[in-house]
């Protein structure tokens, strides 16, 4: 629904754009995850591991994907395309305005490195307990606390993206769309880096296949965290920019 709503806003009359957006939403990320999961499972089968997922379970995952997830994506997109696009408070110039030279501290790679620190810091402690539960078979019982950490993560991602986007706009750089996504989403790089450090310091894994399985699963978790935090930052920034331009008069 969210991707359809945004697609309708950016391209109100392009049915081809709507179809491609819906298809990518339904298949790109889930398909990438399933391909990675299938590859890692092949490695586990080749090793003869008891943790390998049987074919019946893989087939059940496919049934859930194509029988539930994909239809729900198309239903949500259909509901979004029936609604009016989100209005912008001012007219957008069809000719891009020249962007003045930017200060060094507003370079995109530096903003991403700085912007990812705070969201990662919000989940750092809880991430240790979650990974210990996943990889060292320890009990995890702080479910109430993880909800609080998740709320803190949402607030942190929103505030970081909004603040850095505001600095960017004051420097007359209007290219905030993807940057607001990557600024908060870059925290996934820290999550993946921490998982590699956890592998070297906490886990006694020497088998190459086991290391590949661990890195593969943590890459999938980090990718999910990237999409989560990036979407939070972008949505918060989108409504922030819409609000500030709606409160001023722009010719």
Specify burial of residue 151 (Cβ count, 10 A radius: 0-12, 13-18, 19+).
exposed
Closest CA to 213 of 61, 53, 64, 30: 53
* 201: region left, alpha or beta (phi > 0 left; psi from -120 to 50 alpha): alpha
DSSP string over 150-189? HHHHHHHHHHHHHHHHHHHHHTT----HHHHHHHHHTHHH
Residue 7 scores a pLDDT above 90: no
Residue-level pLDDT at 100: 87
Residue 8 scores a pLDDT above 70: yes
Tokens, residue 98: 């020249």
Domain ranges, ordered by start, for the chain: 1-87, 104-251
Q: What is the pTM of this model?
A: 0.90
The tens digit of pLDDT for each residue in 141-153 reads 778 888 999 999 9
Residue-level pLDDT at 18: 86
The tens digit of pLDDT for each residue in 57-109 reads 999 999 999 999 999 999 999 999 988 888 877 777 777 788 888 888 889 89
Residue-level pLDDT at 79: 93
Residue-level pLDDT at 250: 53
Residues with Cβ within 8 Å of residue 89, at least 6 apart in sequence: 242, 245, 246, 250
The tens digit of pLDDT for each residue in 192-227 reads 999 999 999 999 888 888 899 999 999 999 999 999
pLDDT band per the 50, 70, 90 thresholds, residue 50? confident
Measured distance CA(179)–CA(112) in Å, rounded: 8
Q: What is the dihedral of CA 136, 40, 117, 245, to 10 degrees?
A: -140
Mean pLDDT of 228-245: 93
Residue-level pLDDT at 249: 60
Locus of tokens 């999938």: 220
Question: In the predicted model, what is the mean pLDDT of the chain?
Answer: 89
Mean pLDDT of 157-165: 95
Asked whether the beta carbons of 39 and 120 are under 8 A apart, the reply is no
């Amino acid at each position: 629904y969210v991707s359809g709503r945004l697609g309708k806003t950016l391209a109100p009359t392009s049915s081809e754009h709507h179809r491609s957006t819906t298809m990518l939403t339904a298949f790109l990320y889930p398909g990438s995850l399933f391909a990675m999961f299938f590859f890692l499972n092949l490695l586990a089968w080749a090793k003869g591991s008891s943790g390998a997922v049987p074919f019946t379970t893989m087939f059940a995952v496919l049934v859930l994907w194509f029988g539930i997830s994909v239809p729900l994506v198309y239903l949500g997109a259909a509901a979004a395309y029936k609604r009016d696009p989100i209005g912008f408070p001012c007219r957008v110039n069809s000719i891009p305005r020249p962007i003045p030279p930017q200060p060094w501290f507003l370079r995109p790679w530096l903003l991403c490195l700085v912007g990812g620190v705070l969201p990662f810091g919000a989940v750092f402690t809880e991430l240790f307990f979650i990974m210990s539960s996943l990889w060292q078979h320890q009990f995890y019982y702080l479910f109430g606390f993880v909800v609080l950490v998740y709320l803190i993560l949402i607030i942190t991602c929103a505030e970081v993206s909004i603040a850095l986007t505001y600095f960017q706009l004051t420097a007359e750089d209007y290219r905030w769309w993807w940057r607001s996504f990557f600024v908060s989403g870059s925290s996934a790089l820290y999550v993946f880096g921490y998982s590699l450090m956890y592998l070297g310091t906490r886990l006694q894994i020497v088998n190459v296949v086991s290391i590949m399985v661990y890195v593969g699963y943590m890459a999938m978790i980090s990718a999910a965290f990237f999409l989560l935090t990036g979407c939070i930052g972008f949505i918060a920034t989108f409504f922030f920019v819409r609000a500030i331009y709606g409160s001023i008069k722009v010719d």
